[in-house]
Chain A
Amino acid sequence: MRPLALLDSETSRRRLEQICRDRGLDPARVAELVAIVRSQKGKLRRRGLFEQFDELLSEPEKVEP
């Protein structure tokens, strides 16, 4: 599957890190969220999507100051 252009670009990745830091969020988690949604591509019913979100968002946030 094609990489996401925004995540693939160094400049926009840095901007994402800044945005996440400002909100106390872990930027690495964005790529994991994208991977979860992509795993549902082409499915008629996106079964288990929210449970996957539950699992990911239950992990402790790794936020650099």
Chain B
Amino acid sequence: MKLAEISLRNWKGYRKASLQFPECSLPGHVVLVSGANGAGKTSLLEAIVLALYGRQGLDLVGRADQSLRPELSYDKFLERALNAAAQGRDARMAVELVFETAEGEVLSLERVWHFAASGKHRPADEEIHIRRGDELVPAALPVGLPGEEAWREVLGQELLPLNLAPFFIFDGENLARSSRSRLEDQLNSASEIILGAPELRGLAADLRTYARDRKKDLRDASEVSLQDAQDEIAHLELEESRLVAKADRTMHRLGPLRARRDALVKRIGALHGDSYSSFKTLFEEREIQIKMRSADQDELRKALSVDLALALSGKRLIASSRARLEAEALLAQWENGQENNRARFDAFIAYIGDDGGQPLDPTFEGRLEAAWQASWANAPEGAATETRHAHLGDADRLLVLKQLDAVSGLAGDQVSALARRVAELDREIEKIELRIATQRGLDGQAQALADELREAQEDLAKEESDHRIDTEALDAVRLRLSPLRHDIGLRTNHVQAMEPVKRRAALAEGYASALTLWVEEALPQHLDDLTVRVTDAHHAMAHKKLMRSIVVRGDGIELLGSDDRNLLTVDFSAGEGQVLSLSLMAAIAASFPCFPIVMDTPFARLDPEHRRNVLQHFSQIGVQVLLLAHPGEIDRALLDGLGDRFAGQIDVTHEMEATGVGLTRIGQFEARQHGS
């Protein structure tokens, strides 16, 4: 990728200027921007950095070094950068970089800063536009979080990732102070970026998230939960069989008991002749009373064992539990509706976004999104704000509500009433027995028969009561079995339908694991490759051959001398240190020849031999090199020695206008005279 043009508007001394590099047809061309001190060379480098990275780029600007000038924030730096002629009114400052890709495409980046009349930078209005040809890449996004994050991703993909920038954009002032150690620190992350490791790790993470998301659908249909349901059905079916058998046995006992009772009644009647009819009526009445008492006793027992505790907990608690569950049911209905509606909304956006192949304007999309969000902003009136009984599904919630309804009518006074009624029935039965005794007289045979009859009737009443309880239990078991059998059919179908989802989730996890292994294996190999490149670069540029090898490791570098001694502790001269930094830059640039190298005042500390070696080496890397240097820093003969690899030069000059405002002027691009 080559830099073809830099346009500046109100940027420092550049009121409206454009630098064009028309002759850069070869990838390795060196272009010289020459100017005296204060002419505006460093301003050009700063324009490139801040156009690319905005606020995040400030760290790469030597004149804004936060360790030396902590007061110089991004906003302050920009306010000082605004051209003096544009101050005192609402103003805009802009930098546009135009690149030509290896495929011949034109890629441009423009960043625009806005200022109030007071000269204050308005950060919220900052704009950034990337175009491939005439097309925006992607459709315009606002600058400012979270859009800034998205822009950094796009810039990293289309131009130069921020972490690699120190290897390509060389600020002589910065490098003289702290850049070497920073370059060393960043070698490992640079290596990762060059390989695309963050991108592949991101893909692996996305695949794992996808797998987890799709597995959520499987949870309800899992074989484990299916097995649980089958186990419950088996248990209930066993209980059903037991109760059926018990009810059958009771029925078999009831027949003989009833026959025995009838026979006794007949025998007692025979003893009393004409009074048999009224005697039989008394016995039947007594039997009815015993049955009623038995039924009331059952009800009382049931109330005492199961529902009484709940009923006695108070009507208020029951009512509030009921209200809570109803509110949660409303919330669940609303959430389900929102989820279904979201899927339709996404499909709608995808549909209109795909129409005609044009990406949907994000501002418009953002508004649609906001409108959709607003339409679902509030849950319906009466809905709960959170689900406390998350373990209850819709069906369970209905069952609990039904049970609460049942017990809400039961109260302590009703239990007392039941007990009173049982006592009254006891007294009623006693009265009937007294009348029977009076009617039949007191002879011994009748007395014995009456006692036997009473015993028979009590046995019968007990068996009938047991039978009723068993029948009720059987009904309850069957009531539970019916929905379970229906549910298990649905679950079985669901499990079968989920098989492809399960397979996709497993594949996603497989690819995530393969990607992770692939990346982690590649990184050490790439560091070995960088070791060779850095060592070769240093051997080519340094005229003292002190180092046998410069080993790039995950946590920095090792400088191995001819005797394998680590030379990191050696105090190198400023020039030697700079050559070492330049070796790291050259190795990264050679490993990732995707962006021009921009060097500001690169040779000030280097002797003539180092200058020649550095220039020769960088011109052979295969990327465009933009040199920003003053006329005394670089000998024209050195540039001519590059032959075809030197494209030409542009001069920048600074002058004061009559108004006292400085102005930077840009000369014409002077192409190298071939053969000169």
Q: Which residues of A contact B (CB under 8 A)?
A: 1-2, 4-7, 12, 15-16, 19-20, 23-25, 29-30, 33-34, 37-38, 41-45, 47-50, 53-54, 57-58, 61
Would you call A37 and B202 a contact (CB within 8 A)?
yes
Nearest CB of B to A65, in Å: 17
Nearest CB of A to B313, in Å: 47
A47 to B592, CA, bound (A): 31
The answer, among A25, A33, A41, A44, for a CB contact under 8 Å with B146, is A44
What B residues does A20 contact at CB under 8 A?
Answer: 514
Would you call B158 and A2 a contact (CB within 8 A)?
yes
Residue-wise interface mask of B (506-541) relative to A, using a CB-CB cutoff of 8 A (1 in contact, 0 not): 011011011101110110000000000000000000
B236 close to chain A: CB less than 8 A: no
Would you call B146 and A6 a contact (CB within 8 A)?
no
The answer, among B138, B200, B504, B517, for a CB contact under 8 Å with A58, is B504
Would you call A47 and B519 a contact (CB within 8 A)?
no
Q: Pick 11 A–B contacts, CB within 8 A, sort by A.
A: A6-B200, A6-B518, A12-B522, A19-B517, A24-B510, A33-B203, A42-B137, A42-B151, A49-B210, A50-B213, A50-B214
B3-11, B191-199, B428-436, B450-458 - the one binding chain A? B191-199
Would you call A16 and B196 a contact (CB within 8 A)?
no
B150 close to chain A: CB less than 8 A: yes
Among B146-191, those with CB < 8 Å from A are: 146-147, 150-151, 153-154, 157-158
Nearest CB of B to A29, in Å: 7
The answer, among B150, B503, B519, for a CB contact under 8 Å with A43, is B150
A4 to B346, CA, bound (A): 30
**Known interface pairs A2-B157, A47-B350, A57-B504; A37-B203 also in contact (CB < 8 Å):** yes
A20 to B146, CA, bound (A): 36
Nearest CB of B to A35, in Å: 10
Would you call A30 and B511 a contact (CB within 8 A)?
yes
The answer, among B214, B349, B515, for a CB contact under 8 Å with A30, is B515
| Interface of chain B, main secondary structure | helix
Would you call B207 and A53 a contact (CB within 8 A)?
yes
A49 to B594, CA, bound (A): 28
Would you call A42 and B150 a contact (CB within 8 A)?
yes
Closest residue on chain A to residue B519 by CB atoms: A6
**Known interface pairs A25-B511, A33-B203, A41-B157; A48-B350 also in contact (CB < 8 Å):** yes
B141 close to chain A: CB less than 8 A: yes
**Known interface pairs A12-B522, A54-B504; A42-B154 also in contact (CB < 8 Å):** yes
Question: Number of A-B pairs whose CB atoms are under 8 Å?
Answer: 99
Nearest CB of A to B42, in Å: 29
Would you call B514 and A19 a contact (CB within 8 A)?
yes
Would you call A5 and B592 a contact (CB within 8 A)?
yes
7 nearest CB pairs, A to B: A42-B154, A57-B504, A4-B196, A42-B138, A57-B507, A42-B150, A19-B514
B500 close to chain A: CB less than 8 A: yes
Would you call B150 and A44 a contact (CB within 8 A)?
yes
Q: Which residues of B contact A (CB under 8 A)?
A: 137-138, 141, 146-147, 150-151, 153-154, 157-158, 194-197, 199-200, 202-203, 206-207, 210, 213-214, 346, 349-350, 362, 369, 500, 503-504, 507-508, 510-511, 513-515, 517-519, 521-522, 592, 594
What A residues does B202 contact at CB under 8 A?
Answer: 37
Closest residue on chain B to residue A16 by CB atoms: B518
The answer, among B138, B214, B346, B504, for a CB contact under 8 Å with A47, is B346
Would you call B200 and A2 a contact (CB within 8 A)?
no
The answer, among A16, A29, A42, for a CB contact under 8 Å with B141, is A42
Q: Which of A6, A33, A37, A50 has the most CB of B within 10 A?
A: A6
Nearest CB of A to B23, in Å: 25
The answer, among A6, A19, A57, for a CB contact under 8 Å with B508, is A57
Closest residue on chain B to residue A46 by CB atoms: B206
A55 to B592, CA, bound (A): 33
What B residues does A15 contact at CB under 8 A?
Answer: 518, 521-522
Would you call B362 and A48 a contact (CB within 8 A)?
no
Nearest CB of B to A2, in Å: 6
Would you call B203 and A34 a contact (CB within 8 A)?
yes
Would you call A33 and B195 a contact (CB within 8 A)?
no
Would you call B515 and A53 a contact (CB within 8 A)?
no
Would you call B522 and A53 a contact (CB within 8 A)?
no
What B residues does A50 contact at CB under 8 A?
Answer: 210, 213-214
**Known interface pairs A42-B141, A42-B153, A44-B141; A33-B522 also in contact (CB < 8 Å):** no
Closest residue on chain B to residue A27 by CB atoms: B514
Q: Which of A5, A34, A38 has the most CB of B within 10 A?
A: A5
Q: Which of A7, A30, A44 has the most CB of B within 10 A?
A: A44
The answer, among B199, B349, B504, for a CB contact under 8 Å with A37, is B199
A2 to B146, CA, bound (A): 24
Contacts A20-B514, A37-B202 aside, 19 further interface pairs with beta carbons under 8 A come to A6-B196, A6-B197, A6-B200, A6-B518, A12-B518, A15-B522, A25-B507, A25-B511, A33-B207, A34-B203, A38-B157, A38-B199, A41-B138, A41-B153, A42-B141, A42-B153, A42-B154, A43-B150, A50-B210
A6 to B198, CA, bound (A): 12
Closest residue on chain B to residue A24 by CB atoms: B510
A60 to B153, CA, bound (A): 32
